[in-house]
Amino acid sequence: MTSQKKNLALNIYLILAGMFIASLVASNLIFQKFFYWNPFGWFRFEISVGILPYPITFLITDIISEIYGKKKANQVVIAGIAASVFSMAIIYIANIAPAIESSPVNNETFSRVFGLSPIAVLASMMAYLLAQFIDIKIFHYWKKKTHGKHLWLRNNFSTFTSQFIDTFTVVGLLCIFKVLPWSMFGGLLLSGFLFKIVIAALDTPILYLLVYQFRKTFNLKIGEEIVLIEK
């Protein structure tokens, strides 16, 4: 691969990593708003808006896993968790800083929106970290088993398993920490998991299109990965 192609591959990796981190941090900031979605008419999804960026993060890690390898995918996950911790530290400091009388957002409003974030993000990060590492591990297990073929199989198998673990763990921890009442556990678990399954199935064609474009641009064979830094 030429140096120009390597620079392009590195830039794309950085953009994907940036999108991953932005999506993860945003989901931790907006999670307290809940909405409903009834696309089929027979089941009403009741979910947090914080779940909306999550399928994007799993799509990105699947792309990075397929094109750049397991190590690079794990590095992005760790960077995302570090960014979430850092953002929560900033919010904590902002929350304890007293608002002036003329502030458009007073102390009570700010605390109501962001005050529970550190506890919720702790639960979210614990669940998400576990889910992402499982997703990447399963993805590469099936990639090895299928010799780089059947991308749809590893994409969906890894995502379905990891998304259930993530949803079950984060909703359970939020109930344990009393951020949410236990009466909401079953409904949020079912709605959250089914929503993620639907989105994961819908993003499979997008994954195929992007992987095809990567292979065409960088002349990659099936199962071949880009090595950003030669040892």
Instruction: Confirm whether 87 is domain-assigned.
Output: yes
The helix/strand/coil state of 37 is: strand
Instruction: Confirm whether 55 is domain-assigned.
Output: yes
The helix/strand/coil state of 43 is: coil
Say what percent of the chain tops pLDDT 70: 94
> What is the distance in angstroms between the CA of the first residue and the CA of the last residue of the chain?
15
Supply the range of the domain harboring residue 208. 3-218
Instruction: Confirm whether 58 is domain-assigned.
Output: yes
Instruction: Confirm whether 201 is domain-assigned.
Output: yes
Residue 160 or 229, more confident: 160
Residue 54 or 213, more confident: 213
Instruction: Confirm whether 227 is domain-assigned.
Output: no
Sorting pLDDT into bands at 50, 70 and 90, what band is 123? low
The number of beta carbons lying within 10 Å of the beta carbon of residue 149 is: 13
Sorting pLDDT into bands at 50, 70 and 90, what band is 231? very low
What would the pLDDT profile of 140-163 be if each residue is shown by its tens digit? 888 888 887 878 878 777 878 887
Instruction: Confirm whether 224 is domain-assigned.
Output: no
| Helix ranges restricted to H, the chain | 3-30, 54-67, 70-96, 107-114, 117-145, 151-176, 185-202, 204-218
d(CA 137, CA 27): 23
Helices 54-67, 117-145: inter-axial angle, 10-degree rounding: 40
Instruction: Confirm whether 48 is domain-assigned.
Output: yes
Q: Can you give the CATH number for the domain in which 198 is found?
A: 1.10.1760
What would the pLDDT profile of 32-53 be if each residue is shown by its tens digit? 788 887 777 777 777 778 778 8
* Polymer length in residues for the chain: 231
Per DSSP, the residues of 67-118 read HT-HHHHHHHHHHHHHHHHHHHHHHHHHHHSPPPTT-SS-HHHHHHHHTTHH
Instruction: Confirm whether 213 is domain-assigned.
Output: yes
pLDDT of residue 162: 81
Angle CA 193–199–204, to nearest 5: 125
State the total domains in the chain.
Answer: 1
Residue 113 or 177, more confident: 113
d(CA 186, CA 209): 36
